[in-house]
Structure 1
Amino acid sequence: MSNATPPGWYPDTAAPGNERWWDGTAWTAHTRSCVTVIQPSAPGRGGGGSGATAARTLALVATGMALVVVAVAGVMLLDRGDGAEPAATRTDQSAPSPADTGDGAPGDDGPSPDPTAGGEDPGVLVDQLNGITLPIPDGWERVEHPTDEMLTMRTVDSEAYYCPGTSSAMCYHGTVTIRTAGGADPATPEAIARKDVVAAADRAYEEDIIGRPIHGGIMSHRQIAAGPVSVAGRTGYQVRWRVVTGKGPGGYVQSLVFPSAVGSESPVVVRYAFDAGSGGVPLALMDTLTQGIRPLGDSETGGGVGSSVAP
């Protein structure tokens, strides 16, 4: 057995450009693309090869082949004979070759992954349906899977807190959502805004989405702003309330409604909810965000818009 060719990957004469696994006794069904520049001579397909072949092989691969032999021997000792493919083989076959990925020469990992792949700026909330974008302020983040299925951004999770009056519901100092007005909504932006601000207040300071009471409920409210507003070159309408709650400092809610930038120009509803008090979000950020709304594709939305918007 001292003259037998050791187990390893060798050129597959039946498939140029590939290697086949030699288990020390016979060829196996496991193959892979060639990934090394210098390959040892392959043993004859009918047997284990000659002593001269083994010597040439060991001289070419040196330390690298010794490491492969040790690794494969360990795998073979652990193999329980259940027909499973050796771990080393599974890894080689599952990993894409340079030819598959187009990343260049073997050993070249290619460029680092782009966190903004897909064209979406991490500092911008993109509403593809309505053709608009909103800047995401510092200390805020988009919600990937909102429970109410509305496009949402809010203050970061690390600043979330238990809503006053409950020990189970989580609240956030600032939340902004976007939806498209439906058939049940009134016809004009002003009428939609005046109706929606009631729902905005209830959702932020009366009950959460599953009906749990929060903030001790709304005790009173007063309108502090209402009127037409220009949004992304279109005329809309906004209504803003100051809400007083049974527990905690309460907050501010606003409903902004304007025509969509695409399609049938259905009304878009942007809903704001900002906590009041020392831990809340500056009220001026509502106006800053409204002014930052842009049509999708506007050159001003590129380049990390959100990074320049501070709460």
Structure 2
Amino acid sequence: MSMTPPPGWYRDPSYPLVERWWDGTAWTEHRRQPEAPAPPAAQPQPAGGGSRRAKAVTLTVAAVVLVAAIVTGAVVLGQGDGGSDAAAKAASATPSASGTRSSSPSPTASASEPSDDPSVVEDELNGITLPLPDGWARADRLAEDDLLMVTPGTYDCPGDPGLCRHGRVFSSTVTSNDEKSPKALAQHDIKSAADSAYDRDVLDNRPYRGITSHEVVKSGSVAVGGRAGYFVRWRVRTGVGPGGYVESLAFPASTGSQSLVMVRFAFDAGADGPSLSDMDRITKGIRPVDDAATGGGVGSSIGPGQ
């Protein structure tokens, strides 16, 4: 009985030399180079143990090759009788529950796991990590879409009933917009970012009685993880409450198809809101996964060739 594996990076059924993101129900367009597994540490072996292990490995490899040959033969036969399209679609739509690597189109489990480093938050889909400043917490257990980190605790919203937070940071892949320029995308996105944070929530409530005005605080090019990005920051004023600061930061992903990534910031203004320097600190600390040396940030130079 087959089971659908959870979302994650798996071998791409159409090009097994790369890994592809499986969202739990279907393949997405995100791809990346597979990570090389770390070599196992040498362990002392009893007399004759190495020979037995070599035989076991040989038998395992032979079994995998045999399975691959059977699957390949089945696909070839399917192509011969006109059933190739249906077979390929069925194979790519349902990943193998076993997670073993073979030449079939089923994805296999990636070695990449969420970071255990308490000082960072990992966006596995886009292949980046973001620093977690003091006074912030991961949003692992919150159901809001694309939410990565929040300021701890809530307060009663000053407008329509509900609970509000002083700070939130979101990250998402841009898939529904034709813009390919980080500058054009950030300039286009900032109004939506402001409206979602301070105008109407997902339930169509108005926790701050809407936005009454806004002004551009700053904007410009920025290096993000060694790639050329762009940001736009607004100061918004609301019908009730202190208002806040919102920012849209767009840059190319460092893995897969290098689609544009959008990071949104929403910080309350006033004494209870987070420091604006946290926006710059988070931007400057964004890194490709497993590449702590690649920097960036407001005022940093753009990486070569980007």
State TM-score, norm by structure 2: 0.57
User: Aligned partners of 2:148 and 2:195: how far apart in 1?
Assistant: 17
Q: Deviations over 1:79-123 (max 9, x none)?
A: xxxxxxxxxxxxxxxxxxxxxxxxxxxxxxxxxxxxxx9642222
Aligned partner of 1:296 in structure 2 is: 289
In the alignment, residue 290 of structure 2 is paired with which amino acid? G
Aligned partner of 2:152 in structure 1 is: 156
Does residue 166 in structure 1 map to residue 166 in structure 2? no
Aligned partner of 2:19 in structure 1 is: none
- CA-atom RMSD in angstroms: 1.7
Q: Is the 8 A contact 1:143 1:154 kept in 2?
A: yes
Query: Any stretches of 5+ residues in structure 2 without a counterpart?
Result: 1-112, 295-306
Q: Is the 8 A contact 1:120 1:126 kept in 2?
A: no
User: Aligned partners of 1:205 and 1:183: how far apart in 2?
Assistant: 23
Does residue 195 in structure 1 map to residue 198 in structure 2? no
Aligned partner of 1:254 in structure 2 is: 247
| 3-state SS in 1 of match to 2:137 | strand
| 3-state SS in 1 of match to 2:249 | strand
User: Aligned partners of 1:170 and 1:232: how far apart in 2?
Assistant: 34
State the shift of 1:145 in Å: 4.0
User: Aligned partners of 1:208 and 1:183: how far apart in 2?
Assistant: 21
Aligned partner of 2:13 in structure 1 is: none
Q: How does 1:1-311 map to 2 (within 5 A)?
A: 119-157=115-153, 160-167=154-161, 169-299=162-292
| 3-state SS in 2 of match to 1:192 | helix
User: Aligned partners of 2:201 and 2:241: how far apart in 1?
Assistant: 15
Q: Is the 8 A contact 2:114 2:122 kept in 1?
A: no
User: Aligned partners of 1:240 and 1:119: how far apart in 2?
Assistant: 29
State the shift of 1:285 in Å: 1.3
Q: Deviations over 1:220-254 (max 9, x none)?
A: 00111111111111100000000011101101000
State the shift of 1:149 in Å: 2.2
* Bigger radius of gyration: 1
| 3-state SS in 1 of match to 2:125 | coil
Q: Is the 8 A contact 1:127 1:151 kept in 2?
A: no
In the alignment, residue 195 of structure 2 is paired with which amino acid? D
| Distance verdict in 2 for CA 1:119–1:257, change over 3 Å | closer
In the alignment, residue 293 of structure 1 is paired with which amino acid? I
Q: Is the 8 A contact 1:253 1:274 kept in 2?
A: yes
User: Aligned partners of 1:253 and 1:185: how far apart in 2?
Assistant: 23
User: Aligned partners of 2:293 and 2:223: how far apart in 1?
Assistant: 17
Aligned partner of 1:5 in structure 2 is: none
Hey, which bits of structure 1, 4+ residues long, moved more than 6 A? Answer: none
Q: Is the 8 A contact 1:164 1:215 kept in 2?
A: yes
| 3-state SS in 2 of match to 1:241 | strand
| 3-state SS in 2 of match to 1:286 | helix
User: Aligned partners of 2:251 and 2:115: how far apart in 1?
Assistant: 25
Aligned partner of 1:73 in structure 2 is: none
Q: Is the 8 A contact 2:115 2:121 kept in 1?
A: no
Q: Is the 8 A contact 1:228 1:237 kept in 2?
A: yes
State TM-score, norm by structure 1: 0.56
State the shift of 1:185 in Å: 4.6
State the shift of 1:204 in Å: 1.0
State the shift of 1:146 in Å: 3.8
User: Aligned partners of 1:293 and 1:119: how far apart in 2?
Assistant: 14
Q: Deviations over 1:22-73 (max 9, x none)?
A: xxxxxxxxxxxxxxxxxxxxxxxxxxxxxxxxxxxxxxxxxxxxxxxxxxxx
| Distance verdict in 2 for CA 1:291–1:119, change over 3 Å | closer
Aligned partner of 2:32 in structure 1 is: none
Q: Once structures 1 and 2 are overlaid, which stretch shifts more, 182-191 or 218-227?
A: 182-191
In the alignment, residue 185 of structure 2 is paired with which amino acid? I
